[in-house]
Amino acid sequence: MAEFKEAPAGASVGVKTMTWLENRFPTAFDAYKVHMSEYYAPKNFNWWYIFGSLALLVLVIQIVTGIFLVMHYKPDAGLAFASVEYIMRDVPWGWLIRYMHSTGASAFFIVVYLHMFRGLIYGSYRKPRELVWIFGCAIFLCLMAEAFMGYLLPWGQMSYWGAQVIVNLFAAIPFVGPDLALMIRGDYVVGDATLNRFFSFHVIAVPLVLLGLVVAHLLALHDVGSNNPDGVEIKKGPKDAQGRPLDGVPFHPFYTVHDIYGVCLFLMAFTAIIFFAPEFGGYFLEYNNFIPADPLKTPPHIAPVWYFTPYYSMLRATTDVMVNVLVGVVGIAAVVSFLKGKFGGAAKVALLVAAAALIFLLKVFDAKFWGVVVMGGAVIILFFLPWLDHSPVKSIRYRPDWHKYVYAVFVVFFLVLGYLGIQPPSDMGTLVAQVGTLFYFGFFLLMPWWSRLGTTKPVPDRVNFHAH
Ligand code: HEM
């Protein structure tokens, strides 16, 4: 056990209390130093670096408002819809709690998408931060599961039919699909059993995993240290006599103050939406979800909430024609690798066999199944990003200028896919979504090739920082 510290003679009650606490719980004080007052973060952070803290804030908002919602919500197919209406109309401040939670769900995705994009442009997933990124991707998966299951709970028409459509997708998996879908629903159609298990996962199982992953995400980050807009490792740069990086500043107070400022701006936008536009034109709360679930009446147009629509578009884009295009792409890729690849003969033959097997599978299973694979693959591929990017530099700042256009087109296609996923299907929309889907996967799968191309700019030894 560490030596007991003594408060200096004549110390204030505050100092005495802290000394008393530190003697009994030194771990907490050490953690504060390691993660706050002595965590040296690069001094050139820009506004892209606010979204991690905002994600933490939204996580807390969701947990706290969720706890209060559960006090009045009834996870029963016969009572759920009315219990939400009761929260909205009769529970004191219930409307505020509910709108905070529903707006929080969309805010979470906005913040997390921006947070991920920051990682993408500054190469924050590259060595030594691969695990930080992987924990992040796992968080993103959990977040999607959490939002999907939470959406069933109000038991409106969209809750019901959205769950029906998505759970039915699992039935497209060969051999095990129908049993899997049955297991997820707990019934032959979405029903009370489904509502109960989604409730249980939404309020306890997934949040626990999410919290664990967020802790792992932050611990892993603080072990290797933060990246920055220049992609320069401050730990490798010059240090002071105590071994502290000269290009770093203690997280507290520098970035706590910075983040509080960002939090204030965020809360202004967040509260404006809650008070003036909580449905946000039907994007945050869909109008059809104000109609109680009716298993006998399918709504004419079923669309998921906006944050899922890019992936939903990819699912809808995977038609028979698209599968034929994929067969062509796999064939061409295999022939080009065979002719141009700089690897051994045995590997080339193995590649051809693998491509032939994939083409066979593409033609054997139906397009709906491949749609599910494409939709899932669009998220899973993110896990591999650290090994797909072969650029000699991390940050977009020092990459060839045309890389910026590649990222810009990627963002535009992602937004267009998101837009198309909200719209009812059309021939033109499907075609654009197919091009978008090919670009999305091409962006990642061809990254080992294109990320190496072009002339990079010289990366400075120290971070770029201009005092305000
Ligand atoms: C609940 C969700 C999340 C929370 C609360 C969270 C929290 C944080 C915080 C507080 C930081 C440090 C501050 C910052 O760099 O912004 C951070 C950094 C980071 N996060 Fe997340 N994060 C979440 C989700 C994600 C996701 C989904 C990804 C990627 C798939 C991700 C990837 C990263 C990366 C790569 C860093 C290091 C950035 C750098 O050093 O440049 N995070 N995260």
Atom 7 in ligand 1: which residue has the minimum CA distance?
A: 52
Position 149 scores a pLDDT of: 98
Rounded CA separation 405/408 (Å): 5
Residue spans per domain, the chain: 22-290, 309-450
Atom 18 in ligand 1: which residue has the minimum CA distance?
A: 52
22-36, 262-276, 330-344, 384-398: range with lowest mean pLDDT: 330-344
Closest atom of ligand 1 to CA, residue 53: 10
Atom 16 in ligand 1: which residue has the minimum CA distance?
A: 52
Q: Is 72 annotated as a binding residue?
A: no
Position 1 scores a pLDDT of: 63
Protein residues with CB under 6 Å of any ligand 1 atom: 49, 51-53, 55-56, 59, 112, 115-116, 119, 122, 124-125, 129, 132-133, 136-137, 139-140, 214, 217-218, 221, 226-227, 382
Q: Is 101 annotated as a binding residue?
A: yes
Cα 404 to ligand 1 centroid, rounded to whole Å? 22
User: Residue 166: pLDDT band by 50, 70, 90 thresholds?
Assistant: very high
User: Residue 466: pLDDT band by 50, 70, 90 thresholds?
Assistant: confident
Cα 17 to ligand 1 centroid, rounded to whole Å? 34
What tokens does 365 get?
């299973």
Average pLDDT over residues 422-431: 97
User: Residue 85: pLDDT band by 50, 70, 90 thresholds?
Assistant: very high
Q: Is 390 annotated as a binding residue?
A: no
Cα 453 to ligand 1 centroid, rounded to whole Å? 28
- Residue from 115, 307, 444 whose mutation best tests the ligand 1 pocket (most atoms within 8 A of CB): 115
Mean of all residue pLDDT scores within the chain: 97
Same fold, 22-290 and 309-450: yes
Closest atom of ligand 1 to CA, residue 143: 1
Atom 2 in ligand 1: which residue has the minimum CA distance?
A: 55
Domain topology for 22-290: Cytochrome Bc1 Complex; Chain C (1.20.810)
pTM of the model: 0.96
Atom 23 in ligand 1: which residue has the minimum CA distance?
A: 136
Average pLDDT over residues 413-441: 97
Q: Is 217 annotated as a binding residue?
A: yes
Q: Is the pLDDT at 58 greater than 70, yes or no?
A: yes
Cα 193 to ligand 1 centroid, rounded to whole Å? 35
pLDDT, tens digit (0-9, with 9 covering 90-100), for 258-307: 999 999 999 999 999 999 999 999 999 999 999 999 999 999 999 999 99
Q: Is 115 annotated as a binding residue?
A: yes
Closest atom of ligand 1 to CA, residue 125: 35
- Residue from 217, 263, 384 whose mutation best tests the ligand 1 pocket (most atoms within 8 A of CB): 217
User: Residue 250: pLDDT band by 50, 70, 90 thresholds?
Assistant: very high
Closest atom of ligand 1 to CA, residue 140: 27
Atom 8 in ligand 1: which residue has the minimum CA distance?
A: 52
Specify the CATH class of 309-450 in words. mainly alpha
